[in-house]
């Protein structure tokens, strides 16, 4: 699991983060607002996405040619984005 500081550093590069845990998303959003970022939160439902793009994914997943993890179904993804 990544620390809050690591997640904030990733946000500074990517300008958006995706989570499967609502509490984690809200905690990171609060810290980003305290740093002066103008953020927006949103929820995406019923998504097929590779777990590599979910910041708080804890299970194992495969990358590379021939993997089927890109078809992972996630019922709710919680996002924080730069406005």
Q: Of 66, 82, 83, 74, whose CA–CA distance to 19 is shortest? A: 74
Instruction: Give pTM, 2 decimals.
Output: 0.85
The β-bridge partners of 73 are 48
Question: In the prediction, which pLDDT does 28 show?
Answer: 96
Per-residue pLDDT tens digits for 25-73 = 999 999 999 999 999 999 999 999 888 889 998 888 888 777 777 788 9
Distance CA 23, CA 8 (A): 15
Residue 30 belongs to domain spanning = 4-82
List CB contacts of 2: < 8 A, sequence separation 6 or more: 10, 55, 56
Question: In the prediction, which pLDDT does 47 show?
Answer: 92
Q: What's the domain count of the chain?
A: 1
Arithmetic mean of pLDDT, 10-24? 95
């Amino acid at each position: 699991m990544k620390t809050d500081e690591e997640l904030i550093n990733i946000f500074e590069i990517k300008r958006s983060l995706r989570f499967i845990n609502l509490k984690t998303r809200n905690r990171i959003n609060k810290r980003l607002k305290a740093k002066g970022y103008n953020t927006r939160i949103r929820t995406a439902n019923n998504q097929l996405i590779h777990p590599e793009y979910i910041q708080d994914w804890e299970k194992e997943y495969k990358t590379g040619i021939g993997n089927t993890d890109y078809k992972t179904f996630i019922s709710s993804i919680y996002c924080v984005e730069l406005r």
